[in-house]
Amino acid sequence: MSRSVLVTGGNRGIGLAIARAFAEAGDKVAITYRSGEPPQELTALGVLAVRCDITDSEQVEQAYKEVEDKHGAVEVLVANAGITKDTLLMRMSEEDFASVVDTNLTGTFRVVKRANRGMLRAKKGRVVLISSVVGLLGAGGQSNYAASKAALVGFARSLARELGSRNITFNVVAPGFVDTDMTKVLTDEQRAAIVAQVPLARYAQPEEIAAAVSFLASDDAAYITGAVIPVDGGLGM
Ligand code: NAD
């Protein structure tokens, strides 16, 4: 069955792999992107690309209206958009902290709340939040990012309790280090140090994160809610 799927930040990296996986499975997929142009490969797959900054509720509302118009109410939401602004605590400005929280946590709140309007009406829905192993373990220089990603677990589990009886599931995928633009900023030395800590001794490919998300959105995962699934090569265990 073809579902209306929305992936935030679906123009590159992990979000792109997730959008591709749903589109190839025959779903009606929409992505949001913040800037630039959506990738050709998604347009070719019939994916609807909507420009939307998730820190702006008005833009979120407009994006949902466009998706609903073209694909119907969102049945599967993947809240993937996120940013880092890494620095040590004593160098971290209030703006560095607030902007990461405003995107990763409050931005997720904005898109989840709006999706639930349709999901409550439909009496079903699937929500998958992309957290991070860093949210579970912490990481020096990433206190803003780790706090925002840890908070997603409490957010998802609260909603799993609040809305389970409405047949809406909320699950979290916590990736380890994935080969994307976000991690390209690391030096070879930093990458080697990370890989040395990972039992599977390598980075993840974005498709490996997408596989867990696809599973959580599938019928096979109908009885899974409030779960945090690590896809981290064993780093967080
Ligand atoms: P990326 O930087 O390649 O992509 C991030 C996406 O989020 C982009 O599409 C960007 O446009 C979007 N985005 C950022 N701010 C936005 C805003 N205000 N409004 C709308 N969209 C916005 O990063 P990625 O590695 O693909 O990361 C995707 C998600 O996975 C993020 O939430 C990230 O925190 C998480 N994650 C990544 C890794 C990793 O190693 N790459 C590990 C764990 C978790």
- Centre of ligand 1 to C-alpha 32, Å, is 12
- Centre of ligand 1 to C-alpha 12, Å, is 8
Is the CB–ligand 1 distance for residue 108 below 6 Å? no
pLDDT of residue 202: 96
- Centre of ligand 1 to C-alpha 81, Å, is 5
pTM of the model as a whole: 0.98
Is the CB–ligand 1 distance for residue 175 below 6 Å? yes
Q: pLDDT per residue over 118-162, tens digit each?
A: 999 999 999 999 999 999 999 999 999 999 999 999 999 999 999
Alpha carbon distance 43, 218 (integer Å) = 24
Q: pLDDT per residue over 218-237, tens digit each?
A: 999 999 999 999 999 999 99
Mean pLDDT, all residues of the chain: 97
Is the CB–ligand 1 distance for residue 183 below 6 Å? yes
Q: State yes or no: ipTM above 0.95.
A: yes
Is the CB–ligand 1 distance for residue 132 below 6 Å? yes
Residue nearest to ligand 1 atom 41, measured at CA: 178
Is the CB–ligand 1 distance for residue 13 below 6 Å? yes
Assess whether 145 carries a catalytic annotation. Answer: yes
- Centre of ligand 1 to C-alpha 90, Å, is 25
Q: pLDDT per residue over 29-68, tens digit each?
A: 999 999 999 999 999 999 999 999 999 999 999 999 999 9
Asked if residues 159 and 109 have their Cβ atoms less than 8 Å apart, the reply is no
Q: Quick one: which atom of ligand 1 is closest to the CA of 84? A: 34
